[in-house]
């Protein structure tokens, strides 16, 4: 399996005929799982939102991407996905 980071977007474009860096629609965003970070989870392990580089606190809503399980604050990742449509950490398509 070839990681998307190893091949240029242009090559992906040729292979699929789609635009891989297109952002997600609101409908697609709603289908992604999100959950509230519990206080005890936040206390036991610091979960860093790599978009804004702040820790996700207990009671905040986070979204985990189903393919790679990377977790971000809901508001941060939604803004990102609307523009990019892929994980900000590993660039996997969502």
Which residues contact Zn ion (rule: CB under 5 A)? 49, 51-52, 68, 70, 73, 76, 87, 89-90
The three-point CA angle 67-25-58 to 5° equals 60
Question: Which alpha helices (DSSP H) does 1-94 contain, by range?
Answer: 9-16, 26-31, 39-44, 74-84
Specify the residue, 8 or 66, whose C-beta has the smaller distance to Zn ion.
Answer: 66
Q: How many Cα neighbours within 13 Å face the side chain of 5? A: 6
* Shortest distance, position 69 Cβ to Zn ion, whole Å: 7
Dihedral sign from CA coordinates of 54, 90, 25, 60: negative
- Would you say 19 or 61 has its CB closer to Zn ion? 61
Smallest distance from Zn ion to CB 65, Å: 5
| Identity of the residue, 47 or 76, whose beta carbon is nearer to Zn ion in the bound complex | 76
- Least distance (Å) from Zn ion to the CB of residue 14? 24
């Amino acid at each position: 399996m070839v990681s998307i980071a190893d091949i240029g977007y242009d090559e992906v474009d040729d292979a699929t005929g789609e635009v891989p860096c297109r952002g997600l629609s609101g409908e697609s965003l709603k289908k992604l799982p999100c959950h509230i970070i519990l206080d005890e989870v936040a206390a036991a392990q610091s979960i860093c939102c790599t978009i804004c580089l702040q820790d996700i606190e207990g009671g905040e809503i986070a979204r985990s991407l189903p393919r790679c399980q990377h977790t971000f604050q809901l508001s941060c990742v939604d803004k990102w996905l609307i523009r990019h449509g892929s994980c900000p950490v590993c660039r996997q398509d969502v």
